[in-house]
Structure 1
Amino acid sequence: MKKIYLPLALAATLALGACSSDNVVDNGGSNPIDLSKGGFVKMSLNLPTDNNRGSRATLDDGLDNEYGIKNAYLVLFEGKDEHNKENEATFKGAYELKNSDFSNFEAVGDDPNHVTITKRIAFANGTKPQSGRKLFALVVLNNNGLFTVDATKHELTFASNVTPGEYATTKNFVNFSKAIASTSANGTTPFASNVATNGIFMTNAPLSTQPGGATDPGAIKTLADVTDNIYTTEAEAKSKPAAEIYVERAVAKVTVHSGNGTLEANKDKAASKISYKLYNWAVDNTNKKSYIVRQYDNNWNKLYSDKAADANKYRFVWSSPVNPNATNDNKLYRTAFAQDPEYATTTANADNYNRIASNASMSTAFGNSTAFGDEHPQYCNENTFQVTAQNQDQTTRVVLGVQMSEPGKDTYGADLYTINGNKEVVYTKATLAERLKNILLNEPAVKTWIKTHTTYSFDIAFDNTTAGATTITKATFKDNTTAAGAPDEKLESFTPEQLNKALPNIVRYKGGVAYYAVRIKHFGDSDTPWNVAGQGVKAGVNSLIYPSATGTNIDWFLGRYGVVRNNWYDISVNKIQTLGDATIPAFTNDPDDVLENYISVSINVLSWSKHTQDAEL
């Protein structure tokens, strides 16, 4: 089990000041509690760990600091005692849970990821809940400086990098949840600005009241109803059941595993093998904005794919409960998708994404890393879209830098070249020069020069030292028999037109590094099977690449690509079939799936969650 790092004990009694004798709440039909004297609310906080299993993805512990709690806040809302009315619940107060509040340890068995809180509360504004109203709780862990809380008035104020939207005028839960946090100038997600120091921002997870998978799921709830978990005394609270709260991280996590192998090149040559190894990587095209709380569309529960197996038919909700020991009426199930602030956008706007420029060096990219494996993750905001927008320029991707050896050798670091876009034949500078020499030997001036210079060497020079398109600027034949002290006998009076005609469109792979873009799949092939033959898939727009049914199951491929918070996308390269791009691959508005792939990868999705994906390059 993963250790939880708290600046406080795992469970405790938390005290808040009371303000008014008018604060009364009807707790489950028992005697009303006068909050002016302090009411004790008991909550059981469940961190997103491997004990909350489901069938949709594999769960994994992750790193220790991904579970650390640096600070904690309780945000209370008051709403109607009616089903599915939590969005209308109004803000009642926010309370910081300080270190000193966690002073009394309460044993919770052998599960260190389960935090029980017994907190004394009172409304600061002196108003009492109306008859028939309920109290709902949202827990925020590791606020990363996105808001502050007034300890006296219990008011919550967002930081400058958070846009409150409609919450500024109407303080209810739905508007609070849709406050938008923006990334910093360097592209860092505000929810994980410094994980070791600040932890990862977490809030309540939207959960379903019925299982998905093979069955039509139920309603969705995010807030925890704590009305029946408020007691007059601390002793009574500790002896009673707690309100269960399940939190999730507000970021997606990506890791890449190092790998190596060989690919075929120069198939007409004896030295046909090229070895490769992963060189560097970065997460690219990440969303600049994200909601404070995950947004889930209840209409997704009705969507299904009759192309998927029965067990995965209703893919948006897991089939195994997060609380398997609860009664059937109280079991809750993980939801598997989200809407981000750009979800309804059908045409990509580059200003909405953190992107690596196609002509930039990978070394200057935010997040560029040469470290691989589970110990070296990168975090980003969730990024989702409709099927009609499931295009390469709207999809978060991983750019992989893969270093290639010289053909037929196992040494790395030399520049490599291709000609006229033919990636099946790869040259070094020496073999490129040899090809140019053989072409120039047919020039009349060269034929005349060679008659008197039978022993010679040949060399070429380029116009730049950057990756990408390059031009040979000079070709030199040099006599190797010139006497010591005598002037070199050279022939290099070739025009640029001659050289360009001989070897047009040369592309240089600096240091032998080729780049590949791997778009991250969320549901992937198991839940959204993409069958080229069976579904009549053909090149074109999304309606051709992702043919849809009609009626309730129209969105067969919704969520096939994208990244969702609290999901871990782990990428392993299985096979590379051909050379990639010499520079960062450019963005296009083509559909995410292509009919021909050059890299095979596995994306493993875990909830933590970790996603594994296969791709062929």
Structure 2
Amino acid sequence: MKKIYLPLALAATLALGACSSDNVVDNGGSNPIDLSKGGFVKMSLNLPTDNNRGSRAELNDTLKDGLANEYGIKNAYLVLFEGIDENNKENEAKFKGAYELENSDFRDFEAVGDDPNHVTITKRIAFANGTKPQSGRKLFALVVLNNNNLFTVNATKHELTFDDTKVDAAAYKSTSNFINFSKALASTSTDGTTPFASNVATNGIFMTNAPLCTEPGGATAPSTDAKIKTLADVTNNIYTTEAEAKSKPAAEIYVERAVAKVTVQSKSKTNALEVNKNISYKLYNWAVDNTNKKSYIVRQYDNNWNKLYSDKAAGANKYRFVWDTPVNPNATEANKRYRTAFAQDPEYLTTTDSTKYNQMGNNASMTLKTTFGDNAPQYCNENTFKVEAQNQDQTTRVVLGVKMSEPGTDTYDKDLYTINDNKEVVYTKATLAERLKNILLQESDVKDWVAKHATDASFDITFDTDKAGETTITKATFKGKTTTPGATEEKLESFTTKFDNALPNIVRYKGGVAYYAVRIKHFGDSDTPWNKEGQNVTAGGNSNIYNTSSTDSENWFLGRYGVVRNNWYDISVNKIQTLGDATIPAFTNDPDDVLENYISVSINVLSWSKHTQGADL
């Protein structure tokens, strides 16, 4: 059984109390609850484990639970909204009050037995200023776990205040409804760290309610009546006594993490390059790159996605945006809920520029890590975009540093070189020097000089820079001394006329490290298959690459690339074709799908979720 680490316990009930005789909630029956006598709301909080992830046909890999810290609850808050539950009016619900859940609110650990997914809480609260819900209105609940210091809650006034240095909540301050609350923008720190996972071991991962659909997707389309519900209706779960609340059904809340997770698996054995079997490689370091600087507090889902359909995907994946297995399979049909699989990030509707992203080339604080595997994840904000913006400079990627051996040896960490962009022929310093020497010896004055110094001439290569991975122009020199003691040293250097023409571009791979960019796929090849042969694509813009009308483009390819919160993207390298770049790969506005790849990787997608990707480099 999965261990979920909480500060106090795994189970209890959530109580709702008040101190004003005006506080009355109509629970849909003839006997409204008078909160002046103490009202108790029973709620069951479902953590985002694999057991309630729903199902997708391609997610058939071994499920993994993730790390203990990714389930930990360091603090918890209940945020109540008041509104109506019809015609998708959830976004208009008004803020009613916020309450921090203290240690004393967690109890009755044995109440849920061996089920690791449920956390219940007991909390007595009072509405701010004793105001009552309006007649016919309902109470909706949002739970926030691990707030990572993005907001504070006033224990007396029950007000929630965002930290202005970390969150832009201007719209919410103006109109305190749910949509403005959910769209408050959290910003990354200067080192590119997502604010939702600033220190997972200490602060945990920020979690809120997940948007769920009232009808399944997968092989069949949700109907036009299908609704997306994020808030939990707790109106009918209010009871007059705590004992009664414990004996009655709970209002179910399903939370999700606000970050995407990426891991890279490192194979223990070494492998050979496909185009040069004399060179073996091993993974050295990696980092998540081109990540969103901002993210919504709560995931945003467009109900119009429910009807998008791909006739190129397998049957169970045709309506990919809603999963086909309910998170609550024991509920009645009317109350079953299904996970949704995509999101709109703050930049979704715009074509963004590089200033909107955390990029390694523009941020010295972003560094590559040398640890791999499930125990070394990196977290980032979700990043999604429309198909016409599905370009390499828009897409979150993984930068992989790969160490190459000297050709024909098992020696690593030595500088390697290429000439004139030919990555299929790789030189060591010694073999490069020999080639340069042979070119320079075609010069008559060089020949004369070497003949003069036949006993003491030496050849050397001097680099303009020692920076790792930089493209460099070398200075090739012959040096020699006369045999007469005390004579002035004689040098012949910088013979560049023919040298520059023959070898205009020498690239140095510092320490033998080559870099590759792996753009992360969300729906990937199963749900959004792309067939370059079948579509007769040619290099060019997205209209050529995806070769569809705008309608089919959305149906077939929306979400093929990108990262979404609460998804785990696990990348393993299948094979590497040839040498990569000597520096961090530059961004282009070319489409994400390319006609040639240097690396082959696999991306698995689970829910946590986990995605595993393969790529040819």
Pick the TM interval, shorter chain. over 0.9
Matches within 5 A, 1:586-605: 586-605=586-605
Matches within 5 A, 1:180-579: 180-217=185-222, 218-259=226-267, 260-264=270-274, 273-346=278-351, 348-357=352-361, 364-455=364-455, 456-466=457-467, 467-476=469-478, 478=480, 492-549=492-549, 554-579=554-579
Instruction: Tell me whether 1:171 sits opposite 2:179 in the alignment.
Output: no
Q: Which amino acid aligns with 2:460?
A: D
What is the Cα deviation at residue 155 of structure 1? 0.8
Please give the alpha-carbon distance, in whole angstroms, between the structure 1 residues aligned to 2:587 and 2:444: 46
Per mean C-alpha deviation after superposition, the further-off stretch among 211-220 and 510-519 is: 211-220
What is the Cα deviation at residue 100 of structure 1? 1.4
What is the Cα deviation at residue 14 of structure 1? 5.4
Indicate the percent of aligned positions where both proteins have the same amino acid.
78
The residue that corresponds to 2:129 in the other structure is: 125
Please give the alpha-carbon distance, in whole angstroms, between the structure 2 residues aligned to 1:14 and 1:177: 22
**8 Å contact 1:118–1:238 — kept in the other structure?**
no
**8 Å contact 1:549–1:556 — kept in the other structure?**
no
Q: Identify the match of residue 79 of structure 1 among 79, 83, 90.
A: 83
Q: Which amino acid aligns with 1:98?
A: E
Please give the alpha-carbon distance, in whole angstroms, between the structure 1 residues aligned to 2:236 and 2:30: 9
Q: 1:77 to 1:63 in 2, by over 3 A?
A: same
SS at match of 1:525: helix
SS at match of 2:516: strand
Please give the alpha-carbon distance, in whole angstroms, between the structure 1 residues aligned to 2:515 and 2:29: 65
**8 Å contact 1:209–1:332 — kept in the other structure?**
yes
Q: 1:584 to 1:332 in 2, by over 3 A?
A: same
The residue that corresponds to 2:117 in the other structure is: 113
What is the Cα deviation at residue 487 of structure 1? 6.0
What is the Cα deviation at residue 446 of structure 1? 2.7
**8 Å contact 2:12–2:121 — kept in the other structure?**
yes
Please give the alpha-carbon distance, in whole angstroms, between the structure 1 residues aligned to 2:444 and 2:615: 50
Per mean C-alpha deviation after superposition, the further-off stretch among 590-599 and 29-38 is: 29-38
Please give the alpha-carbon distance, in whole angstroms, between the structure 2 residues aligned to 1:214 and 1:15: 40
**8 Å contact 2:572–2:612 — kept in the other structure?**
yes
Q: Which amino acid aligns with 1:25?
A: V
What is the Cα deviation at residue 580 of structure 1? 0.5
Please give the alpha-carbon distance, in whole angstroms, between the structure 1 residues aligned to 2:402 and 2:320: 34
Please give the alpha-carbon distance, in whole angstroms, between the structure 2 residues aligned to 1:131 and 1:547: 55
**8 Å contact 1:449–1:491 — kept in the other structure?**
no
Please give the alpha-carbon distance, in whole angstroms, between the structure 2 residues aligned to 1:334 and 1:188: 27
Please give the alpha-carbon distance, in whole angstroms, between the structure 2 residues aligned to 1:94 and 1:592: 43
Q: 1:87 to 1:493 in 2, by over 3 A?
A: closer
SS at match of 1:51: helix
Q: 1:433 to 1:32 in 2, by over 3 A?
A: same
Please give the alpha-carbon distance, in whole angstroms, between the structure 1 residues aligned to 2:416 and 2:486: 35
Instruction: Tell me whether 1:89 sits opposite 2:97 in the alignment.
Output: no
Please give the alpha-carbon distance, in whole angstroms, between the structure 1 residues aligned to 2:340 and 2:487: 79
Q: Which amino acid aligns with 1:248?
A: E
Q: 1:327 to 1:89 in 2, by over 3 A?
A: same
Please give the alpha-carbon distance, in whole angstroms, between the structure 2 residues aligned to 1:357 and 1:50: 36
SS at match of 1:492: strand
Q: Identify the match of residue 140 of structure 2 among 109, 131, 136.
A: 136
What is the Cα deviation at residue 547 of structure 1? 2.7
Q: Which amino acid aligns with 1:459?
A: D
Q: 1:264 to 1:138 in 2, by over 3 A?
A: closer
Please give the alpha-carbon distance, in whole angstroms, between the structure 2 residues aligned to 1:473 and 1:154: 70
What is the Cα deviation at residue 453 of structure 1? 4.3
CA distances 1:297-356 after superposition (whole Å, capped 9, x unpaired): 00000111111121110000111111112222211111100000000112x321111101
**8 Å contact 1:306–1:553 — kept in the other structure?**
no
**8 Å contact 1:35–1:123 — kept in the other structure?**
no
Q: Which amino acid aligns with 1:18?
A: A
What is the Cα deviation at residue 544 of structure 1? 1.4
What is the Cα deviation at residue 185 of structure 1? 1.4
What is the Cα deviation at residue 112 of structure 1? 2.2
CA distances 1:96-154 after superposition (whole Å, capped 9, x unpaired): 11001214435112112211234434322322222221111100000001111111111
The residue that corresponds to 1:39 in the other structure is: 39
Q: Which amino acid aligns with 1:599?
A: I
TM-score norm. by structure 2 comes to: 0.94
Please give the alpha-carbon distance, in whole angstroms, between the structure 1 residues aligned to 2:503 and 2:529: 44
SS at match of 1:615: strand
Per mean C-alpha deviation after superposition, the further-off stretch among 508-517 and 253-262 is: 253-262
Q: Which amino acid aligns with 2:302?
A: D
Q: Which amino acid aligns with 1:473?
A: K
What is the Cα deviation at residue 180 of structure 1? 0.6
Q: Which amino acid aligns with 1:386?
A: K
**8 Å contact 2:17–2:40 — kept in the other structure?**
no
Please give the alpha-carbon distance, in whole angstroms, between the structure 2 residues aligned to 1:604 and 1:394: 21
Please give the alpha-carbon distance, in whole angstroms, between the structure 1 residues aligned to 2:280 and 2:159: 60
The residue that corresponds to 2:53 in the other structure is: 53
Please give the alpha-carbon distance, in whole angstroms, between the structure 1 residues aligned to 2:613 and 2:384: 17
Q: Which amino acid aligns with 1:55?
A: S
SS at match of 1:435: helix
**8 Å contact 1:39–1:122 — kept in the other structure?**
no
SS at match of 2:138: strand
Long gaps (5+) in structure 2: none
Per mean C-alpha deviation after superposition, the further-off stretch among 75-84 and 13-22 is: 13-22
Please give the alpha-carbon distance, in whole angstroms, between the structure 2 residues aligned to 1:51 and 1:105: 20
What is the Cα deviation at residue 496 of structure 1? 3.9
Q: 1:94 to 1:18 in 2, by over 3 A?
A: same
CA distances 1:66-114 after superposition (whole Å, capped 9, x unpaired): 0000000011111114242211111111111100121443511211221
Please give the alpha-carbon distance, in whole angstroms, between the structure 1 residues aligned to 2:552 and 2:303: 13
SS at match of 1:393: coil
Q: 1:514 to 1:97 in 2, by over 3 A?
A: same
Please give the alpha-carbon distance, in whole angstroms, between the structure 2 residues aligned to 1:488 and 1:42: 94
What is the Cα deviation at residue 212 of structure 1? 0.7
Q: 1:540 to 1:370 in 2, by over 3 A?
A: same
Q: Which amino acid aligns with 1:390?
A: Q
Q: Which amino acid aligns with 2:241?
A: T
SS at match of 1:107: helix
Please give the alpha-carbon distance, in whole angstroms, between the structure 1 residues aligned to 2:461 and 2:314: 59
Please give the alpha-carbon distance, in whole angstroms, between the structure 2 residues aligned to 1:89 and 1:53: 27
Q: Identify the match of residue 153 of structure 1 among 136, 141, 157.
A: 157
Please give the alpha-carbon distance, in whole angstroms, between the structure 2 residues aligned to 1:212 and 1:147: 36
